[in-house]
Amino acid sequence: MIKRIDATEKAIELIKVLKEKHGDLMFYQAGGCCEGTQPQCFEKGGFYQRMGDVCIGTIQDTEFWVDKDLFEYWKHAHFTLDVIDAFGVGGFSLETPLKKTFRIEYRIFTPEEELSLEPVTFIE
């Protein structure tokens, strides 16, 4: 099965740091301007997904949820979670006090990859 999301070593290290401090985590990437279009990291259960939102996979046992409309637009793309030294939009994400920002890089799946993608989970 082809994963829909992976992470860089820098992102994995930051997730480990945040888990030590906050416990179980979750990611949510919205498609709207108010939340920003970068992934936000919360304590697990600290953000309530909407009906139809999609879990595209996990990183370090941390679910990565995507806004349902954004998923429709990007369902043919692989996500790579990365982190940069910057202050992100909104400042609600747990990495903000560390002056870090999670970000996503995208690439389109090949036709061969499309045939064996990992299944997703929807909020019903």
Q: What is the pLDDT of residues 22-67, one digit of tens each?
A: 999 999 998 765 545 789 999 999 988 889 999 999 999 999 999 9
Reported as a single tens digit per residue, the pLDDT across 81-100 is 999 998 876 678 999 999 99
pLDDT at position 37 is 72
pTM: 0.92
Q: Is the dihedral of CA 54, 57, 58, 59 positive or negative?
A: negative
Cross-strand pairs, 77: 108
pLDDT at position 33 is 58
| 4 CB neighbour count, 10 Å cutoff | 23
Q: Take residue 28 and report the two structure tokens written for it.
A: 């949510």
Measure the CA–CA gap between 14 and 95, rounded to whole angstroms. Answer: 8
User: Could you tell me if 71 and 31 are in contact, meaning their C-beta atoms sit under 8 angstroms apart?
Assistant: no
